[in-house]
Amino acid sequence: MVSTARRGALLAAAAVFALLAILPAAGNLPFKAVDVATEIENPQGVPAVMKLDSAGRPIFAFFSGYEGAPTLGSVDLIRCADTICTSSTRHIVADDIPANTSIGLFLDFADKPLVAFSYDVFGSVSVRVVRCEDPACAVAGDPSYLAAGAAPPLQVLKIALTPGDFPAGVVDHPGQYVLYWRCDFVDCSGSSGSTLTFAQGPGGDYGLTYGTDGFAVVSFNSGGL
């Protein structure tokens, strides 16, 4: 869990980047840019991830570096109060995260976020998941391991919940293989993985869903085919 003092220090970080969203707007303009967050240090340009909840309100997960030491930071979550994000709340999902992370976001049937991120420690990368206990992620569980350690880089591509409510994800080890990982328990106290494809240069645009039989369906652009 993140201390109150740590939260205050993180949110007081120097303004370097702003998180912008292109959202529907009232009036004559169909869309407008909304300044969702400021005071973000993101030296390696980790992409933010956005989902819409059941009411069409945007939710963002992103990396925010520490002031003075932006190679380490937190994974934060912003939940907009309405569809055009006139106001929002921001909470820290996990802290002390290296800046070369990648992030995945999924919302369950109650709009509670599931956040995944890669974690590089001395050249061994794992993927960890955090289950938020409320839609704004004001209270979050401790990170659990989804994917075991591997040589970097390792990228989170898609995460979801299985029909049994177990966290799962598609993880890319660029130039080597793409893996499907699934937690063996709801709290992800154990997990297992399988190789989907080897180094044939997947091009991205990954999708992860489940059929009525409960089996995972993974799609991607193989790049050049």
pLDDT tens, residue order, the chain (225 aa)? 444 444 433 333 333 445 555 666 555 555 656 667 666 777 677 888 899 999 999 999 998 888 877 788 999 999 999 988 888 899 999 999 988 888 999 999 999 999 999 888 777 788 899 999 999 999 998 888 888 766 666 788 789 999 989 999 988 877 677 888 899 888 888 888 888 876 555 456 788 889 888 888 888 776 544
Q: What is the pTM of this model?
A: 0.80
Helix (H, G, I), strand (E, B) or coil at 6: helix
Buried b (16+ CB within 10 A) or exposed e, 104-125: bbbbeeebbbbbbbbbbeeeeb
Strand partners of residue 191: 183
Strand partners of residue 89: 79
Which one, of 138, 67, 79, lies nearest residue 105 by Cα?
Answer: 79
Rounded (5°) CA angle 87-88-90? 150
Question: Residue ranges of the alpha helices (H) in the chain?
Answer: 4-11
